[in-house]
Amino acid sequence: MPVFPPPAAIERPKSGHGGGVHPPGFGGGDDNGPGDSSPDYGRRLYRARLALVLALFSISMLFVILTVVFLFLHHGAFVFDSRANAYIREWVQVSLPVRLLALNTIVLLVSSFTIEMSRRSLGREMALAPLRGIPGIRLDEGFSIPWLAITVTLGLTFLVGQWVAWQILQHHGFHISTRKPTPFFYVLTGAHAVHLVGGIIAVLYAGFASLLHRPVEHRRIVVEVVSWYWHFMGVLWLYVFALLEFAM
């Protein structure tokens, strides 16, 4: 009598929470999130965020030092006048172009909104990335707002506004070589402008990465880091503006 082997066991596809079946090949391994085809995406994002924290900490320390020197000279700005045979206060009152600086502030805050919209838009693109590999599913791209380009334009507008503010002060006789506290206006606003230029370069790099069709994971890391750096620049300018307005 012939002997037949037992029937082979058929594995059922594993179901996730809610009873849904996971399509094969999504996620790229680990817990890096949907749409991630790179197994080390989580580690790369962690290293990028850590580098950002260290950079922001060093920038914060720079402005803390400048603030301490600024306030120290504000309360101790006395020099000996040999003609009057007495100590006189060297600190002079500076009339800031407050309206222009307030307008520059609004421009920078709006740019913070636009780069945040870019970050969220790229997050949605990364979340939908796995669906592009499913046959028969076509995602409607629609019109995409160039948030990064708008951010760069607003950032450059802010820098032009700061340059105009410098010209106004110089027109009224407040040069960088004049008495305190005029040099500190140029030092504080100039230091902020230099760091903002670095942010603009980073935003341009993120835009070119999109034009060159770099992987979505790479673009997500760049925009994630740049957006938080840009938000920090906005908060830092609010601090500098308040310090100059109330101390000068």
Is the model's pTM score more than 0.85?
no
What average pLDDT does this structure show over 68-87? Answer: 66
Q: Please give the mean pLDDT across all residues of the chain.
A: 77
Question: Is residue 16 predicted with pLDDT exceeding 70?
Answer: no
Structure confidence at residue 39 (pLDDT): 53
Task: Give the pLDDT mean for 219-247.
Answer: 92
Give the per-residue pLDDT at 42: 81
pLDDT of residue 4: 47
- pLDDT, average across residues 87-97: 69
Q: Rounded to the nearest 10 degrees, what angle do helices 216-247 and 98-128 cross at?
A: 160
Q: How many CB atoms lie within 10 A of CB 13?
A: 8
Mean pLDDT of 177-205: 86
* Rounded Cα–Cα distance for residues 193 and 158 (Å): 9
Per DSSP (E only), the strands in 35-189 are 78-81, 86-89
Q: Mean pLDDT, to the nearest integer, of 21-31?
A: 39
- Looking at residue 82, its pLDDT comes to 63
pLDDT classification of 175: cutoffs 50, 70, 90? confident
Backbone angles phi, psi at 22, to 5 degrees: -80, 125
Q: What are 2-13's pLDDT values in tens digits?
A: 454 554 444 444
What number of helices (H) and strands (E) belong to the chain? Answer: 5, 2
Question: Is the pLDDT at 239 greater than 80, yes or no?
Answer: yes
Mean pLDDT of 123-129: 66
Q: Which CATH superfamily is domain 48-133+144-247 in?
A: Cytochrome c oxidase, subunit III, four-helix bundle (1.20.120.80)
What's the rounded Cα separation, in Å, for the pair 110 and 104? 10
Residue extents of the structural domains in the chain:
48-133+144-247
Per-residue pLDDT, 231: 96
The size of the chain, in residues, is 248
Residue 164 pLDDT level (bands cut at 50, 70, 90): very high
pLDDT for 44 equals 86
pLDDT of residue 212: 79
Compare 206 and 237 and report the one with higher pLDDT.
237
Q: Which long-range contacts (CB under 8 A, 24 or more apart) does 70-73 make?
A: 70/181, 70/184, 70/188, 70/243, 70/247, 71/247, 73/180, 73/181, 73/184
What would the mean pLDDT of 214-221 be, rounded to a whole number?
82
Residue 199 has pLDDT above 70, yes or no: yes
